Amino acid sequence: MLISSAVYKTANIIDKYGQQFFYHNENSVEKKPFFIIIGIYIRGVNLNIFYMIFFYPIELLMEFFMSGLFSMTGSYGIAIILTSLAINTIMIPVFWYAEKLQQRERDIQALMAPKIMEYKSVFKGYERHLYISNLHKQYGYHPVYALRSLLGLFIQLPFFVATYNFLSHYTAVAGVPFLFIGDLGKPDMLIPMLSYNVNLLPFVMTGVNLFSSFVYGKLLTKAERVNIYVIALFFLVVLYNSPSGLLLYWTCNNIFSYFKSVVFVKQLQKTQKSPEPAEI
């Protein structure tokens, strides 16, 4: 906990420094570290424009679902679950496209891997660089193509950020109970332990997440699998104190993500084929 607290504090310092550096007027926009993430900063451009273009429409869409589904069901808890389902359904083609791009990258990397290992075992320095470059050339590949997987991420980023922004400021759920959760606007504190109340939902969410990772992990290399397990545990710490409404949303999101993974794994395994060197 000490380590995570130290990391958390460091992150805050960097975030604040970033804010001073990246924003002209600290009060003009709400703090939005994702602008720092994507590194878009052009002096003189009002960053609100980016917010309005990339995130606000998605927040509007979420609001539309939440209020519509609440008026239909009369429960904010059920509205959160159904909104999560709706957003996931809308996102399926985007996820599929991004996944295919990444799979293509993985396929060609896997195909070149034995030769790259061979060259690494016998060549050094410049000679190794030249042989690997030629291997890339013969497979019609360039290391820059690895950015293809970044494209998929850029498509998804606005959804992540907008979802978070919307749910963390959605005042309608403050003080609203759902099933065993006392207040959707606050951490659940469901497990009493000595003088503390431990939050249950973050562990439920992480459990689902790890299970989903296990299914998705069948497609990945060992190193990639370790990465996603680390991320799952990492966000347990990070989101531990979040409002239970948000955790309910992400838990549902991860359940739907699990089913999505099951289908994707099957589909991708069906369509996997061995590419050959490109015509030169």
Partner 1 sequence: MLNIIAVFLIYFMFVGDNAHAYLDPGSGSMLISALVALVTIVIYMAKSFVYDKVKVLGKKSDLPDLNREYNIVVYSEGGQYWNVFLPILQELEARGESVMYFTSRQDDPGLTYEFKHIEKKFIGEGNAAFFVLNKLKANIVVMTTPGLGVLQIKRSKGVKHYCHITHSAGTCGSYKAFSLDYFDSVLVGGSADKNLIAELEGKRKTPAKQVEIVGCTYLDVLRTKLAGGNYSYNLFAEKRPTILISPTWGEHGLLYKYGKSILNLLSADKNFNIIVRPHPQSFTSEKSVMDELLSAFPDSDNLKWDREKDPLKAMYHADIMISDFSGIIYDYLFLFERPVLTFKAQFEKRGREAMDLKDETPDIKLLDRIGKTLQESDIPELVSIIRNSLSSKSELADVVKEAQEALTQFPGESGRRSADFIQSVLKK
* Interface positions, 105-164, toward partner 1 (CB under 8 A): 105, 118-119, 121-123, 126-127, 129-131, 133-134, 138, 143-144, 146-147, 149-150, 152-153, 156, 160-161, 163-164
Q: Closest separation between CB of residue 51 and partner 1, Å?
A: 12
Q: Closest separation between CB of residue 163 and partner 1, Å?
A: 8
Q: Applying CB under 8 A, does 207 fall inside the site for partner 1?
A: no
Q: Applying CB under 8 A, does 165 fall inside the site for partner 1?
A: yes
Residue span binding partner 1 (CB under 8 A) among the ranges 34-42, 66-74, 75-83, 193-201 = 34-42
Establish how many alpha carbons lie within 13 A of residue 232's alpha carbon, considering only the half-sphere containing its beta carbon. 22
Residue span binding partner 1 (CB under 8 A) among the ranges 78-86, 192-200, 220-228, 266-274 = 220-228
Q: Which residues, 246 to 265, sit near partner 1 by CB under 8 A? A: 250, 253-254, 257, 260-261, 264
Q: Closest separation between CB of residue 74 and partner 1, Å?
A: 28
Helix axes 201-216, 222-238, angle to 10 degrees: 170
| Site residue total, partner 1 (CB under 8 A) | 77
Q: Applying CB under 8 A, does 55 fall inside the site for partner 1?
A: no
- Which of 230, 263, 266, 272 lies at the binding interface for partner 1 (CB under 8 A)? 230
Is residue 96 a contact partner of residue 264, using CB atoms and an 8 Å limit?
yes
DSSP assignments along 157-193, one per residue: HHHHHHHHHHHHT-GGGTT--BTTBS-TTS----EEE
* CB neighbour list of residue 129: distance below 8 Å, 6 or more residues apart: none
Given phi > 0 = left and psi -120 to 50 = alpha, else beta, which region is 276?
beta
Q: Closest separation between CB of residue 193 and partner 1, Å?
A: 24
Q: Applying CB under 8 A, does 56 fall inside the site for partner 1?
A: no
Given phi > 0 = left and psi -120 to 50 = alpha, else beta, which region is 125?
left
- Which of 86, 198, 220, 236 lies at the binding interface for partner 1 (CB under 8 A)? 220
Q: Closest separation between CB of residue 71 and partner 1, Å?
A: 27
Strands 191-193 and 196-198: antiparallel
Using a 10 angstrom Cβ sphere, with 0-12 exposed, 13-18 middle and 19 or more buried, the burial of residue 148 is middle
Nearest of 63, 81, 69 to residue 244 by alpha carbon: 81
Q: Closest separation between CB of residue 177 and partner 1, Å?
A: 23
